[in-house]
Amino acid sequence: MTSEATSRKGIPAGVWALGFVSMFMDISSEMIHALLPLYMVTALGTSTLAVGLIEGIAEATASITKVFSGALSDWLGKRKFLAVLGYGLAAFAKPIFPLAVSLEWLVAARFIDRVGKGIRGAPRDALVADLAPRHLRGASFGLRQSLDTVGAFVGPLLAIALMWLTADHFQAVFWFAVIPAFLSVGVLLVGVKEPGRPKELRRVRMPLRRDELGRLGSAYWWVVVVAAVFTLARFSEAFLILRAQSIGLPSALAPVVLVIMSLAYSLSAYPAGVLSDHVNRLGLLVLGLALLVLADLVLAFTTGIIALGIGVALWGLHMGFTQGLLATLIAETAPAELRGTAFGMFNLVTGIALLLASVIAGALWDIAGPQTTFIAGAAFSLLTIVGLVPIGARLGQR
C-alpha cells in the first residue's frame, strides 16, 4: 500500500508531506489559539468557565465531524479529497478571527475552523495508516505528530514576535496567521499522492451500521476505552496559558507556554513512535500518564516562572509519549477497509471526554482556583494508571 517513493529512512514521502501539511496548518492555528484565551478574557471580558466551555465545544465539534468524514472516506474508498476539503475550510475560516467584533464572531470562527479539522482528521490519519509499512507504523505516526507539533511551537513564537512588533495588536497577528493556512492546502494538493485501493479489500456500503461497527473488533474498542479515560485525565492547553497569566507572566509572553509544551512534544513524539515499534506499548502509555501526574503537580504548586516551564515541558512530554501511540494502536486494531470510521469513532469519544474535562477544569478554576484544577487532574491521572492494568490485559497489544 506504499506506492510512493520513500525517504532514506523508509518512511513514505506521502507521510512526510502530510506531516508538513499539518505543520503549516498548526503554525496558523497556534498563532491564533496562543492568544485567543487571553483575548477573550482580557479584551472581551469572558469568564474562565466560558473559555473552557467554548474550547471544549470546539473540540467536540471537530470530533463529531470526524465520525462522518471518516465513514465517508471508507464508503468512497478515497481519503485525499476529504482532507483537502477540511484543510481548505479551516484556511478560509482564518480571516474571520481578525474581522471578529464580538465573542459570537469568535465562537463562529472557532466552530468553522474545527469543522474543517473534523472533516480532515480521520481521513488524514487513515491515509497515514494506508501509506505506512506495518513495521514503521509507530514511527510514521510519531513523525507526523512531531512535524505537526513543530508548527505548534513555531506558531506561538511567531505570535510572540508579532505581538512585540505590533505593540500587542491581536488582530494584526491573526491576519499573519492566514498565510501558513493556505500554504498548507497547497502542499497537500501537490505533495500527497493517494495510494490505490487494494483489489482484495472489502467494499464498505454503510460504515456506521451496527454490524460494521462490530467488525472493528473488541481490541479496537478497548483502545478507545483507554483513550477516553486517558483524555478525561487532561484538559485543554488553554488552561496552561491561563495558569501562566495567574502567576504574573505578561500577556505578550504568554504564548511561550505553548512553545515550551510543543517543543517537548515535538522532540519526544518521533522517538516515542520509533520506540513503540519495539517495546511494550502499554508501558509507554503508563509512562505518559506518569508524566502527566508530575506535570499537574508541578503546575498546581508552582509560584515561579522556572517551575512553570518545567511543568509545561512535562505536559508536552506526556503528549509525545501517548498521542502517536494511541493513533498507532487504532491503525493496528481496525480492519483496513474501516480505518476512516475507526479514527472517526475514536476522535468522537475522546472529543466528548475532552469537552467534559475542559468544562470540569473551568468550573473548578472559577470555584476553587487553579491549584485545585491541576490537583484534580493529577488524581484522575493516577486513577487512569490503575485502570490500565486490567484494560491492558484485554488489549493483547505488544
pLDDT at 390: 59
Q: Tell me: the pLDDT tens digits for 334-360?
A: 988 899 999 989 988 887 888 788 888
- For residue 349, the model assigns a pLDDT of 87
Nearest to 180 by CA among 1, 12, 20, 332: 20
- As a whole number of angstroms, the distance between CA 41 and CA 62 comes to 23
State what percent of residues in the chain have pLDDT above 90: 25
- Check if CATH label 1.20.1250.20 holds for domain 13-191+211-395: yes
Q: How far apart, in Å, are the Cα atoms of 220 and each of 44, 327, 387?
A: 43, 11, 17
Domain ranges of the chain: 13-191+211-395
CB 281 within 8 A of CB 397: yes
Question: Comparing C-alpha atoms, which of 265, 6, 44, 42 is closest to residue 140?
Answer: 6
Of these ranges, 25-29, 51-55, 225-229, 363-367, the one predicted with the greatest mean pLDDT is 25-29
- Please report the pLDDT score of residue 398 as a whole number: 42
Asked whether the predicted pLDDT for residue 389 surpasses 80, the reply is no
Q: Contact, 324 vs 138, CB < 8 A?
A: yes
Mean pLDDT, residues 128-151: 86
Exposure string over 12-46, b if 16+ CB within 10 A, otherwise e: bbbbbbbbbbbbbbbbbbbbbbbbbbbbbbeeeeb
Residue 303 burial by CB count (10 A; 0-12/13-18/19+): exposed, middle or buried?
exposed
pLDDT cut 70: percent of the chain above it: 93
In DSSP notation, 289-353 reads HHHHHHHHHHHHH--SHHHHHHHHHHHHHHHHTTHHHHHHHHHHHS-GGGHHHHHHHHHHHHHHH
Nearest in space to 341 (alpha carbons), one of 329, 330, 328, 332? 330
3-state helix, strand, coil in the chain (%, to 5): 80, 0, 20
Pick the residue with more confidence: 249 or 48?
A: 249
Highest mean pLDDT among 148-157, 224-233, 256-265, 317-326: 317-326
Whole-Å CA distances, 42 to 46, 125, 248, 371: 8, 36, 14, 21
Nearest 5°: the CA angle 303, 307, 250 is 65
The answer to whether 26 and 153 have CB atoms below 8 angstroms apart is: no
Q: Do the Cβ atoms of 128 and 141 come closer than 8 Å?
A: yes
More confident residue, 200 or 289: 289
- pLDDT band (50, 70, 90) for residue 82: very high
Cell numbers 481519503: residue? 79
Q: Which band of pLDDT confidence, cut at 50, 70 and 90, is reported for residue 1? A: very low
| pLDDT at site 6 | 43
